[in-house]
């Protein structure tokens, strides 16, 4: 069968490259190994997700306007503004957090929790935001009467991951 | 006695006609169709948008290209600079006022937006959306209903001067005009002139009957008189202005001045120039005879007659007359064609509305329905689907291919575009919604997701080795791989990326088909599927829309959100009656989805969808899955970038084999569409606790030779297998630039080596 031949070829190639790899490495191993054993490999020194990203100009404008609406208790207006912002920057965790605030204001506590979870799922290493999300979740769970989850969320907000 | 009988008969008959005409008139007057709008375009600096594409959008939204944009609905463009004046529009969050803005482009992006008058910089501008359709009780009609106050003076005056001089004086019929017409007709030996009043014309339009029999005429006359008895002149005039037939746009009849001025001039009736009013008034006598698209000369001559009448009546100045008669007719391609030009999408809108509204609400209350349709995406979907299917037919030398496409926003779940078949304007079977086809390997992510949730890792070795399943009472089932080969022991992620059937069935049987069916439901396809083993290879039929919902949940990181086509519904006077906001529900833990999506990226970077790279650049790192049903009857591809999710199905309506796999059929269509859309790279946010490690996949291959290979893979917290080297600073390698990746692969090798020594 033709196919079988091809597979054998591939396997041979794999074996060859493995052999070459091992041979080459044995040569360099002696030099590098002693120093390397304690050193973690260099990875992504830039750390893209470490710094919380700033909003782009259009989103910042909309976010500010939504926050104003929240302050004024105009939650459905804030919601619509945030949706606009989310269409521009759908993966900005701060917008999702703000949305959770709106849902809390609308007394939709279940959704408030969900939007916090969503925000956390996009927050990366923004630990301040993650804490805020857990705080809000704690309050939302308390409103829902789920004291156990409220307490768990409160502990997470305090830093116990 | 005979006279008495006659009179009584006449009275009864007149009474009957009275009832008929009043019903008609009252029914008509308030019947304003629901109007459907596309999503509004939001302009901001940094947006990927070429000036040509913006011009296309504006054209679709009924904007006019002008020398220098001045009035609302106009735009002009010189190279990289575009001026436009948006129109007032009520959104669910209130009125967005008309704004004159200058947009500066840099290549394919917007660089800067300023107010045209003050030069003030703007960070965001929301344009009024394109009108994409309306729901009218009579299917092939469309209209924009005007009130008496909407009718410009000049239009009313010249309408009366040309069509019915004594309109404000007569009682429905104009005996003098009839006599005059009679003489003229006798002299000419044929009908050259009608003596019908506007009221009579209106009656005639109501009943859509152009027979010119005497009986008809008498009926019309009686009804006209009755109308005048019940309604004021203004009411009759307004009804006339909304009812008059002014042309044909393919299958759609253009009724009324409101729609006609959009159709012919892309303007609101209040913004019309005298020459344009004259053209419309002139066309009343014979909309097809004087059609500017077909009989330019005739149309101009007729317009000239009306313009002269306007001048002699003193309705326009000499100067206006001079300008007007010199004005050229609108070119054919400026004409705004086809309001219901996205029938497949509109059908989805309609179905969602039918759940909440009665038919009368939709066809009579003038509701405004603001939808999620993105015209740019829709245009590409239609264009590329048609072209790609034709190319595939040529390649396979077989006719009869059909296709369906669903595109949505990754995080918002908004349906941006929908194709129900390869002929977008042909209404009919909507395959995106109604074609239920076996989804083949598109089901595998659900299988592997369930496995990951039940103790498997991406590195778990699974056997891609033949097996036979015996169902109680059913035939034996011996699944095979697409290449009819066995691939031995492979890590889980590879079984998914390479879409190995045998491994999938083994994994699926191990975790339990019932659990997988449950997870398909949790992914968003909330139906019952019998938990047969064949479910594991996608024997269950689904519609492209359902598949899109399932992949939506994966693309959105495990958060389910219902697909949305409607953003909000407003009443005729702009009150929000319904708003379909965002809602999310976490259905799967973020780390599970992260692992699965990493494997789905591999399906594109090194698996069955590898050839996608000839369409979509690698740096976008899209994730996706191919699917092929038995005997190659259905070809599927579902995939997502950082911002868009798209599902494509290709097959035949008669369900015959098409000789295309997911990769050679649907994926090609997917690639063709996506390569023309602005796409964001797919970033997967790494949940807390994920550990990266080089899983050591060494083992004996089929020929008994030992080999080793290692792959950097993510693991959920605490699930790193013992025989692997952990990495301490987690971050997926694929998101690093090439130089860094090289460095990593060397350090990776060192890790593997180190793992031997531990």
Q: What is the CATH number of the domain that holds B426?
A: 3.40.710.10
Task: Inspect the interface and report whether the beta carbons of A48 and B46 lie closer than 8 Å.
Answer: no
Residues B464 and B490 sit within 8 Å (Cβ to Cβ): yes
Does residue B190 sit in the same domain as residue B266? no
A8 to chain B: which residues are within 8 Å by CB?
703
Task: Inspect the interface and report whether the beta carbons of A114 and B727 lie closer than 8 Å.
Answer: no
For residue B210, count CB atoms less than 10 angstroms from its CB and return exposed for 0-12, middle for 13-18, buried for 19 or more.
Answer: exposed
Residue B609 in this model has a pLDDT that exceeds 70: yes
Nearest-angstrom CA–CA distance, B496 and B447: 9
Residue B729 in this model has a pLDDT that exceeds 60: no
Distance of CA B387 to the CA centre of its chain: 18
Does residue B499 sit in the same domain as residue B560? yes
In degrees rounded to 5, what are phi and psi of residue B403? -155, 165
Bridge partners, B105 (sequence order): B110
Question: How many CB atoms within 10 Å of residue B554?
Answer: 24
Task: Inspect the interface and report whether the beta carbons of B124 and A77 lie closer than 8 Å.
Answer: no
In chain B, which among 632-691 make CB contacts under 8 A with chain A?
642-643, 683, 685-688
B701 to chain A: which residues are within 8 Å by CB?
11, 14
Residue B754 in this model has a pLDDT that exceeds 50: no
Task: Look at the alpha carbons of B270, B276, B282, B285 in this order and tell me if their dihedral is positive or negative.
Answer: negative
- B63 falls within a domain: yes
- B366 falls within a domain: no
Task: Inspect the interface and report whether the beta carbons of B750 and A124 lie closer than 8 Å.
Answer: no
| CB-closest option in A32, A33, A87 to B42 | A87
| CB-closest option in B44, B557, B582 to A83 | B582
Domain CATH for B145: 1.10.3810.10
Final residue of a domain: which of B85, B118, B135?
B135
Does residue B607 sit in the same domain as residue B725? no
CB < 8 Å & 24+ apart, contacts of B269-274: B269/B146, B269/B150, B269/B151, B269/B152, B269/B155, B270/B150, B270/B152, B271/B71, B271/B72, B271/B73, B272/B152, B272/B155, B273/B324, B273/B327, B274/B154, B274/B307, B274/B310, B274/B316, B274/B320, B274/B321, B274/B323, B274/B324
- The token pair at B287 is 């909309």
> What is the count of structural domains for chain B?
5
Residues B620 and B681 sit within 8 Å (Cβ to Cβ): yes
Return the residue of B nearest to A114 by Cα. Answer: B585
- B327 falls within a domain: yes
The residue behind tokens 């992949």 is: B551
Residue B117 in this model has a pLDDT that exceeds 50: yes
In chain A, which among 112-151 make CB contacts under 8 A with chain B?
114-115, 117-118, 121-124
pLDDT at B125: 96
Residue B405 in this model has a pLDDT that exceeds 60: yes
In degrees rounded to 5, what are phi and psi of residue B34? -70, 135
In degrees rounded to 5, what are phi and psi of residue B671? -65, -40
Average pLDDT over every residue of B687-706: 70
pLDDT at A1: 42
- B658 falls within a domain: yes
The residue behind tokens 């531990």 is: B758
pLDDT at B518: 97
Average pLDDT over every residue of B580-585: 94
Average pLDDT over every residue of B97-107: 96
Does residue B106 sit in the same domain as residue B13? no
Average pLDDT over every residue of B208-224: 74
Kindly list the distances between the CA atom of residue A134 and the CA atoms of A23, B366, B604, in Å, as whole numbers in the listed order.
Answer: 52, 45, 36
- The token pair at A9 is 């070829």
Q: Between B708 and B651, name the one with better pLDDT.
A: B651
Provide the b/e sequence for B555-592 (b: ≥16 CB within 10 Å).
bbbbbbbebbbbbbbbeeeeebeebbbbbbbbbbbbbb
Task: Look at the alpha carbons of B184, B188, B192, B196 in this order and tell me if their dihedral is positive or negative.
Answer: positive
Task: Inspect the interface and report whether the beta carbons of B747 and A29 lie closer than 8 Å.
Answer: no
Task: Look at the alpha carbons of B586, B591, B595, B597 in this order and tell me if their dihedral is positive or negative.
Answer: positive
Residues B603 and B622 sit within 8 Å (Cβ to Cβ): no
ipTM of the complex: 0.78
Name the pTM for this structure.
0.79
Task: Inspect the interface and report whether the beta carbons of B586 and A114 lie closer than 8 Å.
Answer: yes
Task: Look at the alpha carbons of B516, B519, B520, B526 in this order and tell me if their dihedral is positive or negative.
Answer: positive
Query: Is the CB of residue B734 less than 8 Å away from at least one CB of chain A?
Result: no
In chain B, which among 465-484 make CB contacts under 8 A with chain A?
483-484
SS3 B285: coil
In chain B, which among 510-549 make CB contacts under 8 A with chain A?
none
How many contacts (CB atoms, under 8 Å) link A and B? 134
Does residue B486 sit in the same domain as residue B618? yes
A34-61 residue pLDDT tens:
333 333 333 333 334 444 556 778 899 9
Average pLDDT over every residue of A117-131: 95
Final residue of a domain: which of B175, B201, B232?
B232
Does residue B158 sit in the same domain as residue B54? no
- B346 falls within a domain: no
Query: Is the CB of residue B347 less than 8 Å away from at least one CB of chain A?
Result: no
Does residue B624 sit in the same domain as residue B504? yes
Verify whether residue B710 is a known catalytic residue: no
Average pLDDT over every residue of B141-149: 79
- The token pair at B97 is 């006022």
Does residue B310 sit in the same domain as residue B452? no
Average pLDDT over every residue of B676-705: 79
Does residue B50 sit in the same domain as residue B9? no
Nearest-angstrom CA–CA distance, B111 and B80: 10
Nearest-angstrom CA–CA distance, B658 and B353: 36
In degrees rounded to 5, what are phi and psi of residue B137? -60, -40
pLDDT at B365: 74
Question: Tell me, what DSSP letter sits at residue B48?
Answer: B
Domains and CATH numbers, chain A: 57-157 (1.25.40.10)
Does residue B521 sit in the same domain as residue B551? yes
pLDDT at A32: 40
Nearest-angstrom CA–CA distance, B497 and B506: 16
Nearest-angstrom CA–CA distance, B13 and B567: 50
Residue B655's pLDDT band (cuts 50, 70, 90): very high
Kindly list the distances between the CA atom of residue B149 and the CA atoms of A56, B152, B232, B246, in Å, as whole numbers in the listed order.
Answer: 44, 8, 15, 21
Verify whether residue B163 is a known catalytic residue: yes
Q: Between A69 and B712, name the one with better pLDDT.
A: A69
Query: Is the CB of residue B95 less than 8 Å away from at least one CB of chain A?
Result: no
- Which domain, by its residues, includes B102? 34-135
The residue behind tokens 């498997």 is: B456
What is the least distance, in Å, from the CA of B683 to any CA of chain A? 10
Query: Is the CB of residue B564 less than 8 Å away from at least one CB of chain A?
Result: no
Nearest-angstrom CA–CA distance, B172 and B89: 39
Does residue B552 sit in the same domain as residue B669? yes
How large is the greatest C-alpha to C-alpha distance in chain A, in angstroms? 75
Residue B520 in this model has a pLDDT that exceeds 80: yes
Residue B492 in this model has a pLDDT that exceeds 80: yes
> CA B731, B737, B738: angle at the middle one, nearest 5?
115
pLDDT at B29: 57
Distance of CA B252 to the CA centre of its chain: 19
Residue B696's pLDDT band (cuts 50, 70, 90): low
The residue behind tokens 């999938």 is: B504
How large is the greatest C-alpha to C-alpha distance in chain B, in angstroms? 125
Residues B121 and B114 sit within 8 Å (Cβ to Cβ): yes
- Mean pLDDT, chain B, rounded, equals 87
Average pLDDT over every residue of A67-76: 94
Average pLDDT over every residue of B345-353: 90
Residues B119 and B134 sit within 8 Å (Cβ to Cβ): no
* Catalytic one of B86, B158, B163, B220: B163
Residues A83 and A159 sit within 8 Å (Cβ to Cβ): no
Residue B28 in this model has a pLDDT that exceeds 80: no
Query: Is the CB of residue B631 less than 8 Å away from at least one CB of chain A?
Result: no
Question: How many CB atoms within 10 Å of residue A69?
Answer: 21
What is the least distance, in Å, from the CA of A54 to any CA of chain B? 15
pLDDT at B681: 95
Average pLDDT over every residue of B263-271: 83
Residues B246 and B256 sit within 8 Å (Cβ to Cβ): yes
- The token pair at B277 is 């009013």
- B360 falls within a domain: no
Task: Look at the alpha carbons of B287, B289, B295, B299 in this order and tell me if their dihedral is positive or negative.
Answer: negative
Residue B381 in this model has a pLDDT that exceeds 90: yes
B579 to chain A: which residues are within 8 Å by CB?
76, 80
Does residue B147 sit in the same domain as residue B275? yes
Nearest-angstrom CA–CA distance, A132 and A124: 14
Final residue of a domain: which of B674, B699, B722?
B674
Sequence-distant (≥ 6) Cβ neighbours of residue B667 within 8 angstroms: B609, B611, B612, B624, B626, B635, B637, B648
Residues B405 and B673 sit within 8 Å (Cβ to Cβ): yes
Q: Nearest Cα to B469, choosing from B413, B539, B404, B414?
A: B539
């Amino acid at each position: 069968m033709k196919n079988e031949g091809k597979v054998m070829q591939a396997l041979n190639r794999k074996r060859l490259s493995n052999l070459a790899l091992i041979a080459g490495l044995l040569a360099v191993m002696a030099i590098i190994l002693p120093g390397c054993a304690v050193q973690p490999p260099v990875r992504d020194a830039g750390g893209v997700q470490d710094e919380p990203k700033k909003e782009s100009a259009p989103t910042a404008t909309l976010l500010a306007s939504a926050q104003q609406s929240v302050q004024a208790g105009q939650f459905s207006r804030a919601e619509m503004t945030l949706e606009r912002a989310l269409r521009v920057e759908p993966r900005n965790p701060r917008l999702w957090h703000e949305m959770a605030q709106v849902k809390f204001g609308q007394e939709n506590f279940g959704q408030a929790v969900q939007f916090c979870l969503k925000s956390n799922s996009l927050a990366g290493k923004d630990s301040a935001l993650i804490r805020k999300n857990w705080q809000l979740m704690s309050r939302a769970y308390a409103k829902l009467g789920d004291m156990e989850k409220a307490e768990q969320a409160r502990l997470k907000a305090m830093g116990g991951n | 006695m005979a006279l008495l009988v006659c009179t009584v008969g006449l009275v009864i008959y007149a009474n009957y006609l009275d009832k008929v005409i009043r019903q008609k008139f009252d029914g008509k007057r308030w019947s304003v169709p629901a109007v459907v709008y596309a999503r509004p375009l939001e302009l901001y600096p940094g947006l990927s948008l070429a000036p040509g594409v913006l011009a296309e959008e504006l054209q679709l939204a009924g904007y006019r290209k002008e020398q220098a944009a001045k009035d609302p609905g106009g735009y002009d463009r010189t190279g990289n600079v575009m001026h436009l004046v948006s129109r007032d529009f009520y959104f669910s969050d209130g009125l967005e006022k008309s704004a004159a803005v200058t947009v500066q482009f840099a290549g394919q992006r917007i660089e800067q937006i300023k107010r045209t008058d003050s030069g003030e910089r703007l960070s965001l501008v929301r344009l009024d959306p394109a009108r994409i359709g309306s729901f009218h009780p009579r299917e092939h009609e469309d209209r924009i209903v005007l009130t008496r106050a909407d009718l410009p003076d000049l239009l009313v005056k010249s309408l009366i001067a040309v069509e019915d001089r004594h309109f404000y004086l007569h009682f429905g019929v104009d005996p003098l005009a009839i006599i005059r017409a009679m003489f003229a007709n006798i002299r000419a030996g044929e009908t050259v002139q009608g003596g019908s009043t506007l009221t009579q014309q209106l009656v005639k339009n109501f009943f859509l009957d152009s027979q010119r029999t005497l009986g008809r005429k008498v009926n019309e006359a009686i009804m006209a008189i009755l109308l005048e008895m019940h309604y004021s002149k203004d009411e009759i005039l307004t009804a006339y202005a909304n009812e008059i037939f002014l042309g044909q746009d393919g299958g759609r009849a253009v009724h009324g001045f409101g729609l006609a001025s959009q159709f012919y001039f892309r303007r609101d009736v209040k913004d019309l120039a005298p020459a344009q009013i004259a053209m419309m008034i002139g066309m009343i006598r014979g909309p097809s005879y004087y059609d500017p698209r077909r009989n330019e000369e005739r149309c101009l001559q007729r317009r000239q007659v009306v313009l002269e009448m306007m001048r002699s009546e003193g309705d326009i100045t000499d100067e206006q007359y001079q300008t007007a008669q010199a004005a050229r007719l609108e070119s054919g391609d400026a004409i705004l064609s086809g309001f219901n030009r996205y029938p497949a999408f509109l059908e989805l809108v309609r179905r969602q509305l039918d759940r909440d509204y009665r038919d009368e609400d939709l066809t009579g209350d003038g509701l405004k329905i603001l939808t999620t349709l993105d015209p740019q995406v829709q245009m590409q979907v239609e264009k590329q689907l048609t072209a790609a299917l034709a190319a595939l037919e040529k390649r396979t030398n077989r006719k009869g291919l059909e296709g369906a496409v669903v595109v949505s926003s990754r995080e918002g779940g908004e349906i941006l575009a929908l194709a129900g078949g390869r002929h977008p304007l042909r209404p009919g079977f909507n395959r995106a919604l109604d074609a239920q086809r076996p989804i083949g390997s598109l089901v595998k992510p659900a299988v592997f997701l369930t496995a990951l949730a039940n103790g498997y890792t991406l590195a778990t070795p699974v056997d891609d080795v033949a097996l036979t399943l015996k169902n109680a009472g059913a035939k034996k089932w011996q699944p095979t791989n697409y290449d009819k080969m066995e691939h031995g022991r492979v890590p889980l992620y590879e079984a998914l990326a390479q879409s190995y059937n045998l491994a999938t069935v083994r994994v699926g049987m191990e975790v339990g088909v019932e659990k997988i069916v449950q997870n398909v439901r949790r992914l968003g396809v909330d139906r019952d599927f019998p938990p047969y083993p064949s479910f594991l290879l996608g024997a269950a039929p689904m519609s492209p829309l359902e598949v899109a919902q399932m992949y939506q949940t994966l693309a959105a990181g495990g958060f389910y959100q219902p697909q949305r086509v409607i953003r909000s519904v407003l009443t005729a006077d702009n009150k929000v009656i319904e708003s379909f906001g965002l809602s999310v529900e976490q259905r799967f833990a973020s780390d599970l989805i992260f692992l699965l999506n990493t494997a789905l990226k591999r399906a594109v970077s090194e698996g069955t969808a590898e050839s996608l790279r000839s369409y979509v650049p690698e740096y976008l790192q899209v994730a996706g899955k191919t699917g092929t049903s038995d005997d190659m009857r259905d070809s599927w591809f579902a995939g997502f970038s950082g911002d868009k999710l798209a599902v494509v199905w290709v097959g035949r309506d008669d369900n015959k084999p098409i000789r295309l796999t997911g990769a050679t059929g649907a994926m090609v269509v997917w690639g063709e569409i996506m390569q023309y859309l602005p796409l964001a790279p797919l970033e997967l946010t790494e949940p807390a606790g994920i550990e990266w490690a080089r899983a050591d996949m060494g083992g004996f291959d089929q020929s008994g030779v030992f080999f080793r290979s290692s792959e950097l893979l993510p693991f959920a917290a605490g699930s790193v297998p013992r025989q692997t080297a952990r990495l301490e600073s987690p971050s997926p390698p694929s998101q690093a630039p090439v130089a860094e990746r090289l460095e990593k692969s060397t350090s990776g090798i060192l890790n593997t080596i180190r793992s031997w020594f531990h």
